[in-house]
Amino acid sequence: MAKKPTESSRANHDPTALGRRFKQRLKGRGVLLGGSVIEYLRPSLVKLYRNAGYDFIYVENEHAMFLGPELADFVQSARDNNMPVIAKTAQLDRAEVQRLLDCGIVGIQLPCTESRQDLLTLLDMMKYPPTGTRAGAPCFGNVDYTPPANATAWLKKANAASLLVVHIETRRGYENAEQIISTPGVDMVYTGPYDTSISMGHPGNFDHPDVVRPMKQVLKLCRKYKVPFGTSASSAAAGKRWIRQGCQFFEMEDELGLIAQGAKKLATSYR
C-alpha cells in the first residue's frame, strides 16, 4: 500500500523546479529544441521526443482539436519525464490560461501578439498576486498532485517558474516589435514563419527576403533586450543559419509531419 505524503516529503517536493530549470537553460549558450504536438497526445510521444534529444514539448493548442482530459494526461507524462511543456492559448481567455497552467504547462504562447497591452493582460492572468490575479488551485498537475506545505513560498516560486512566450507573425506585430519585446516579464520571443510569409505576401516561402528581413529585425531586438529568440526553420541548413545569428530555440516539425516524412521515405526506398 502506498504511503501518504508526509509533511517532510511535501516540503521537499518542488513542482516549480521544472519551469525554473528551463528558464535557466534559456540563459545558457545552447540551442533548445521543442518537439511539436498537433494531434497525438500519447505518453509514447513524450518518450520518443525525449529519447530523440528534444529539450521541451510545444503543444499547438490554437488549431488542434484536443478534447477532455487528454491534454492534462499528456502534460503529466511530460512532467514525469522532465520535459517542460509550452502551449498556445487560442485567445486571451482567463479560464483557458489558468486551465493550461493548472494542468502543469510551464509556458503560455500567445499567437498573433500585436501589442504590449496583450502581454500585460496575459501576464495578469498568468501570475499570482501581488503580481497578477491568477486564482490559486494547488491541487492539480501544477503541483504534481502534491499540495505544497508552504503556500507563500510556492506562490512566489510558481510566479518565477511560469514563462510568457511572445508569438509575432503579423505585420502589426512586427511594427510593434520593440514595445512588445521590451515588455517586462517576457521570457521568450517566437516568430512564426508561415503566417509571416502570408502577411508579407509570399505564402509558404519561409526563406524569401521579405519574410526573413522582419524576423531578423526581431532577432536583433531580442539581443538588445536580452530575450531568447526562436522560430521554426524551413530546413536544417536554414536552422544553422539562424543559430549563427543568435537563435536560441526552435519549435520543430510536429508528429504528423514526421510520420508523413518517414512513411514516404520508407515507401520510396521500396519502390
Which single residue is written with the C-alpha cell 514526421? 258
Q: Give percent of the chain above pLDDT 90.
A: 91
Core vs surface per residue 211-244: b (16+ CB within 10 A) or e: bbebbbebbebbeeeebbbbbbbbeeebbeebee
From the centroid of its chain, how far is CA 176? 21
Output the average pLDDT for the chain. Answer: 94
216 domain residue, yes or no: yes
pLDDT at 39: 93
Q: Which domain CATH number covers 38?
A: 3.20.20.60
Bridge partners, residue 36, by sequence: 58, 254
150 domain residue, yes or no: yes
Does residue 189 contact residue 233 with C-beta atoms inside 8 Å? no
pLDDT at 67: 74
266 burial (CB, 10 Å; 0-12 / 13-18 / 19+) is exposed
Q: Is the pLDDT of residue 94 over 90?
A: yes
9 domain residue, yes or no: no
6 domain residue, yes or no: no
From the centroid of its chain, how far is CA 166? 9
pLDDT-based confidence at residue 1 (cuts at 50, 70, 90): low
262 domain residue, yes or no: yes
pLDDT at 9: 54
pLDDT tens digit sequence for 153-195 = 999 999 999 999 999 999 999 999 999 999 999 999 999 999 9
4 domain residue, yes or no: no
Bridge partners, residue 148, by sequence: none
Q: What size, in residues, is the chain?
A: 271
Give the residue numbers spanning the domain of 95.
Answer: 18-270
pLDDT tens digit sequence for 4-14 = 555 555 567 89
161 domain residue, yes or no: yes
pLDDT tens digit sequence for 28-84 = 889 999 999 999 999 999 999 999 999 999 999 998 888 778 999 999 999 999 999
8 domain residue, yes or no: no
Number of domains in the chain: 1
